[in-house]
Amino acid sequence: MVTSVSILGATGSIGASTLDLVRSGNFRVVALSANSDVQKLAELAREFDADVVAISKEQLYGELKSALAGTRTKVLAGPSGMAEAASAQSDILLSAIVGAAGLEPTMAGFAKGRKIALANKECLVTAGALFMREANAKGAIVLPVDSEHNAVFQAFACGRRDAVSNVTLTASGGPFRTMSRERLAHVTPEEAVRHPNWSMGAKISIDSATLMNKGLELIEAHYLFDLKPSQLSVLIHPQSVAHALVEFHDGSIVVQMAHPDMRIPIGFCLAWPERMEWNAPKLDLAKLGALHFEAPDYERFPALQLARNALLQGGAAPNVLNAANEVAVEAFRKRALSFPGIAALVEGVLEMAEKEGVLREAGTVNDALGVDHIARRFAATLLPQFAAKAS
């Protein structure tokens, strides 16, 4: 049987891994989207003979249309085009846009019985309660692509949900795991994107270096699996082989292990509830010899603590944390902020949001996007102050 797939964020790292599996399996591509890379999107649309493509930047419509002249592919652009592409009928919607920009298009793709393979964790951080409520109301099935959450999902099959006592997400610790606080103040964006185990987009690589990624993942797990903050923990595991540990009431811990390759959790989602047969890289544990685990250092990596606090605080705090982090990471990439400045700016924005009373839980997607917008404005306002502190 042919499985039809649509991919939001087809030109990114997760998009590329997904298309790699699509090439080797029994799949048909329905819709593909990208932010601004017209040439790459057109190339992919031709290769996979996509029914629909959407480019997020509306002004690029003409360019994309010409690049696809002579093909049968329908060309769309802008927010409504993204929503139309997302809702085009297919068995699976792979959501791999980076950032809160993924929220609306992903939600536009909810439909009864449709599998939403969710890589975009920012959807759940920005509007987790709303997102899951709406998915359930529409009958969409959310499957986690994020490797840790995918591991949790798999381990959950070993017992009843009410028998789960604790869920531990592992973190590699990133490229600066053993670096002193003094040296951390001077690391460059080039060093931060060089992840030791995973090959990923720039934003998530930097989030992995600050450990904000693990913080966002705690929030993601809370909403995705309806777990209490007290049931969620983080363990540093530099080899990135054991992706999550699920502890049951009887003291048993179930761990999912796999080679650190995103095609494994993506393939799991594409084939679910079956298992995909492909030439997956296999783990050689004898060669690895030992697995190492250690507690995270919240002092050198304060972003993890900020995210945990936002999770405990609830309401719009995770949304504000995420928006501020997106601005801070962008500023760091442009060398307008130091590496420690990322967490410092996020903390400043959270304090400002608290003072200004914008941390109430959003009732609608528009409310959530409104808070996201305000938090970005706060971050832009505070940025010069934090940039100056760093220099």
Q: Which does 98 bind (CB under 5 to 8 A by kind): ligand NAD, Mg ion, none?
A: ligand NAD
Q: CB under 5 to 8 A by kind: which of Mg ion, ligand NAD, none does 73 bind?
A: none
**Contact call for residue 146 and Mg ion (CB under 5 A):** yes
**Count of residues binding Mg ion (CB under 5 A)?**
3
154 binds, among ligand NAD, Mg ion, none (CB under 5 to 8 A by kind): none
- Residues forming the site for ligand NAD (CB under 6 A): 9-15, 34-35, 37, 56, 96-99, 101, 119-122, 146, 198, 200-201, 203-204, 262
Whether the CB-CB separation of 333 and 326 falls below 8 Å is answered with no
Please give the C-alpha separations between residue 315 and each of 251, 305, 325, in angstroms, as whole numbers: 33, 17, 17
Residues contacting residue 21 through CB under 8 Å, at least 6 positions apart: 27, 263, 266, 267, 270, 276, 278
Total Cβ atoms within 10 A of residue 274:
9
Q: How far is the CB of 343 from ligand NAD (least distance, A)?
A: 18
- The token duo for 374 is 């305000």
Our CB check for ligand NAD shows the closer of 225 and 386 to be: 225
278 binds, among ligand NAD, Mg ion, none (CB under 5 to 8 A by kind): none
Q: Which two tokens stand for residue 104?
A: 């609306």
Minimum CB separation of residue 215 from ligand NAD in Å reads 12
Nearest approach, Cβ of residue 220 and Mg ion (Å): 9
Which option in Mg ion, ligand NAD, none does residue 13 bind, with CB closer than 5 to 8 A by kind? ligand NAD
- Report the partner that residue 121 touches, choosing among ligand NAD, Mg ion, none (CB closer than 5 to 8 A by kind): ligand NAD
β-pairing verdict for 27-34 and 3-8: parallel
Closest distance between ligand NAD and the C-beta of residue 58, in Å?
11
Contact 320, 250 (CB under 8 A): no
The number of C-alpha atoms within 13 Å of 210 and in the hemisphere containing its C-beta is 32
Smallest distance, ligand NAD to C-beta of residue 14, A: 4
Terminal C-alpha separation, the chain: 59
Nearest one of 83, 77, 32, 41 to 57, comparing CA atoms? 77
Q: Least distance in Å: CB of 44 to ligand NAD?
A: 10
Selection from ligand NAD, Mg ion, none that 55 binds (CB < 5 to 8 A by kind) is none
Task: Write the interaction track for Mg ion spanning residues 96-135; mark x where CB under 5 A is met and - where it is not.
Answer: ----------------------------------------
Q: How far is the CB of 5 from ligand NAD (least distance, A)?
A: 15
Q: Does 220 bind Mg ion (CB under 5 A)?
A: no
DSSP per residue, 87-105: HS--SEEEE---SGGGHHH
Q: Measuring CA to CA, how many Å separate 145 from each of 15, 115, 221, 227, 332?
A: 12, 12, 12, 18, 27
Binding interface with Mg ion (CB under 5 A) = 146-148
